[in-house]
């Protein structure tokens, strides 16, 4: 058995555009399509990619309006895997940032959360 350095990544992304309950909610299939198209575009351009697994879930978050505290939830997904040895850490972060921006734009997300090893960042739309 060959031992390798474990460099996990994950991207977490909601499927509801914005925060309003009446906003458009995308499907997990739409998210998969965005990731697949990103992979194909990068490979066709000679760039490296992160391959992984998509799992469905829900984001849970607090809401504070007018002093009233409540919580909300929305459908979400996580794309996770391990960065291959042929990509250095800077390349891995670039790939994840690029994919997070793509997901944000195509799925109408204000925030997309990404983690690589012990590094965490959020891509935010203005």
SS3 readout for 38-71: HHHHHHHCCCCCCCCEEEEEEEEEEEEECCEEEE
Rounded Cα distance between 1 and 96, Å, is: 29
Model confidence, pTM: 0.89
Distance CA 118, CA 23 (A): 33
Which percentage of the chain shows pLDDT scores above 70? 99
Angle, alpha carbons 114-68-72 (nearest 5°): 35
pLDDT at 98: 97
Identify the band that residue 20 occupies on the pLDDT scale cut at 50, 70 and 90: confident
Question: Of the candidates 102, 106, 98, 104, which has an alpha carbon nearest to the alpha carbon of residue 124?
Answer: 104
Q: What is the pLDDT of residue 114?
A: 97
Mean pLDDT of the residues in the chain: 93
Instruction: Say if residue 19's pLDDT is above 80.
Output: no
Report the pLDDT value the prediction gives residue 106, as an integer from 0 to 100. 96
Let me know: does 125 contact 33? Beta carbons within 8 Å. no
């Amino acid at each position: 058995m060959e031992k390798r350095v474990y460099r996990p990544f994950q991207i977490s992304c909601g499927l509801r555009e914005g925060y309003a309950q009446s906003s458009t909610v995308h499907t997990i299939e739409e998210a998969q399509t965005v990731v697949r198209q990103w992979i194909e575009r990068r490979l066709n351009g000679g760039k490296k990619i992160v391959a992984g697994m998509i799992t469905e879930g829900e984001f849970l978050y607090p809401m504070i309006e007018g002093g009233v505290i409540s919580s909300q939830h929305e459908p979400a997904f996580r794309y996770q895997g391990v960065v291959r040895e042929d990509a250095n850490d800077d390349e891995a972060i670039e790939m994840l940032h690029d994919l997070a921006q793509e997901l944000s734009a195509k799925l109408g997300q204000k925030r997309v959360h990404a983690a690589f090893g012990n590094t965490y960042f959020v891509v935010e739309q203005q």
